Amino acid sequence: MQSALFLIVFALTTLAAASPSVAGPAAQSQKLPPVSYVCPMAGDEDVIEDAPGLCRKCRMQLEPIRLDAAWTCPVHAAVMKDAPGKCPIDRRELVQVTVAVSWTCPGTTVDVLTPGSCVNGAPMVKKFTARAHGNHNPQHGGLFFMAPDNWHHLEGTYPRAGVFRLYLYDDYTKPLPRDQVRKTTARLVLKEVFDPATRTAKEEFAVPLVPAQNGRYLEARVGKMSFPARMTAKIKFQPAAPEHRFDFAFAEYSTVPVMPRTTGNAAVPAPAPAPEAGNTAGTPAPRNAVSTAASTAAVAAPSGGASSIGIDPGLVPLPVPDSVPEILAQLEQRTEQVRRFIDQGAFASVYVPAFQAKDLGLALDERTKDLEADGRRTVDPAIKRLVRSAWLLDAFGDLGNREHITEAFAQFVAAVKDVQAAFAVKK
């Protein structure tokens, strides 16, 4: 009842301020994203609830918002489209990002959550607003991570033999100003040994990451490495800031799509760089990447070709089998897919099979009533641990720390085994 009252008050307040006619035919003909409630405090953008209230972090009042997917240029964020296609500036494929969607009337301050008509009778215009952490797409063909400070983002690239580059971004994936890049201190660890007594890694060989002459990135010379090329960046974004660890594993050299050559009025695609001999391994596509071919090769999308239109595969509902044995078989498959992605260092793709395993676990939760009492006592907490560890895999996949994601996977595997054991009793 309080939720309904809040929405009514919000709607009336917005209408009074904006004065357009809303909830007309335009709204009725569109399937709108649901209203979510987000924290307005910078750094707390990850707080997203389905009901109004106070932010669980800072206790500020949550604000209503509609979250949706949009398409933008990899390096020209001013371009925003509602469908995939080519960037009008550099002709690269648009990438999918998370945005806030609202409707406005040109030349006014109107900004409402429901489309309708303006005072002059014209239909309201759809408006996309960028969200912090809404874009985790690499801009230079590398591996993209978010820092634990929930603000900095970074992309590591291996453009050619002997060279590692690190690009630094803010929370909107905009390149850091050069003065902030130069304040960053970092090194690239190429060899370390784990000490089981202290549970720490001892560095045996590391090289400094230094600002490039153009100030756009940090760079290190690493010598020739075989694939998969594994290296760890340890970074302090400010002199007094804590040091963060990011683990990279490159299955091939990082490449950036080349802008097509033009001949007259026709665009001619430039030839792609030839892969190095013997290097045919691909890296799974990162979250929000337009091309999901690599990740969907291992994680089959439901029929309908969702990946062909650029839908984030982790957001596609997984068809759940009817029988418990089939669900358990799929759960085993998803577990192996998570393991394979971690082994490959494709941390940004781990969330896809992890979330699908979560959905399978929740489907099994609906079938626990047929178990004996001992089975229910085992499986209920196991499913909760499975769901929680899936979220941890997602979070640590974004952060790029191999140690943390490996620990989360150990919890995930243990939960899966307990679930399997509980339903095996039933059989």
CB 286 within 8 A of CB 298: no
List the structure tokens of 295. Answer: 């990740």
| Any domain includes 276 | no
Instruction: Name the maximum alpha-carbon separation found in the chain.
Output: 75
Q: Are residues 85 and 154 in the same domain?
A: no
Q: Are residues 298 and 422 in the same domain?
A: yes
DSSP 187-238: EEEEEEEEETTTTEEEEEEEEEEEE-TTSS-EEEEEE--PSSEEEEEEEESS
Identify the CA nearest to 128 among candidates 102, 96, 91.
Answer: 102
Owner of token pair 């509902």? 317
State if pTM tops 0.75. no
Answer positive or negative: Cα dihedral of 79, 84, 89, 90: positive
Q: Are residues 150 and 99 in the same domain?
A: no
Backbone angles phi, psi at 350, to 5 degrees: -60, -35
Compute CA 342 distance to the chain's CA centroid, rounded to the nearest angstrom.
Answer: 16
Q: Are residues 119 and 151 in the same domain?
A: no
With H, G, I as helix, E, B as strand and everything else as coil, classify residue 148.
Answer: coil
With H, G, I as helix, E, B as strand and everything else as coil, classify residue 97.
Answer: strand
Give the domain CATH number at 399: 1.20.120.290
List the structure tokens of 109. Answer: 């301050």
Give the domain CATH number at 149: 2.60.40
CA atoms of 62 and 47, how far apart (whole Å): 9
Answer positive or negative: Cα dihedral of 373, 374, 375, 381: positive
Q: Are residues 306 and 419 in the same domain?
A: yes
With H, G, I as helix, E, B as strand and everything else as coil, classify residue 22.
Answer: strand
* pLDDT of the chain, 427 residues: tens digit per residue: 333 333 333 333 333 333 344 444 444 456 788 899 999 998 888 788 888 999 998 999 999 999 998 999 988 888 999 899 999 988 889 998 989 999 999 999 999 999 999 999 999 999 999 999 889 899 999 999 999 988 999 999 999 999 999 999 999 999 999 999 989 999 999 999 888 888 777 899 999 999 998 889 999 999 989 999 999 999 999 999 999 999 999 999 999 765 544 433 334 344 333 333 333 333 333 443 322 233 333 333 333 333 333 344 544 556 888 898 999 999 999 999 999 999 988 898 898 899 899 889 988 988 877 777 766 777 888 998 998 899 889 888 888 989 899 999 999 999 999 999 888 754 4
With H, G, I as helix, E, B as strand and everything else as coil, classify residue 179.
Answer: helix
Q: Residue type at 297?
A: A
List the structure tokens of 87. Answer: 């960037």
CA atoms of 385 and 223, how far apart (whole Å): 43
Give the DSSP letter of residue 423. Answer: H
CB 129 within 8 A of CB 100: yes
| Any domain includes 272 | no
Q: Are residues 168 and 198 in the same domain?
A: yes
Pick the last residue of a domain from 64, 98, 130. 130
DSSP 301-322: PPTTTGGGGT--GGGSPPPPPS
Run of H or E including 378: helix 373-399
What pLDDT shows up at residue 130?
92
| Any domain includes 138 | no
List the structure tokens of 222. Answer: 């690493």
Q: Are residues 220 and 120 in the same domain?
A: no
Cis, bond preceding 228 (omega within 30 deg of 0): yes
CA atoms of 418 and 413, how far apart (whole Å): 9
List the structure tokens of 357. Answer: 């395993």
Q: Which residues, at least 6 apart from 284, have a Cβ–Cβ distance to it below 8 Å?
A: 294, 295, 298, 341, 344, 346, 348, 349
Identify the CA nearest to 142 among candidates 402, 347, 409, 280.
Answer: 347
Q: Are residues 148 and 114 in the same domain?
A: no
What pLDDT shows up at residue 275?
37
Q: Are residues 26 and 105 in the same domain?
A: yes
Owner of token pair 């399937």? 31
What pLDDT shows up at residue 316?
52
CA atoms of 120 and 189, how far apart (whole Å): 63
CA atoms of 371 and 427, how far apart (whole Å): 10
Q: Which domain holds residue 99?
A: 2-130
| Any domain includes 386 | yes
| Any domain includes 257 | no
| Any domain includes 34 | yes
Q: Are residues 102 and 148 in the same domain?
A: no
| Any domain includes 255 | no
Cross-strand partners of 97: 70
Packing angle, helices 402-426 and 324-344, rounded to 10: 160
With H, G, I as helix, E, B as strand and everything else as coil, classify residue 160.
Answer: strand
Q: Are residues 122 and 179 in the same domain?
A: no
299: how many CB neighbours lie within 10 A of its CB?
23
Q: Are residues 237 and 117 in the same domain?
A: no
| Any domain includes 311 | yes
* Count of domains observed in the chain: 3
Strands 125-130 and 153-160: unpaired
What pLDDT shows up at residue 198?
81
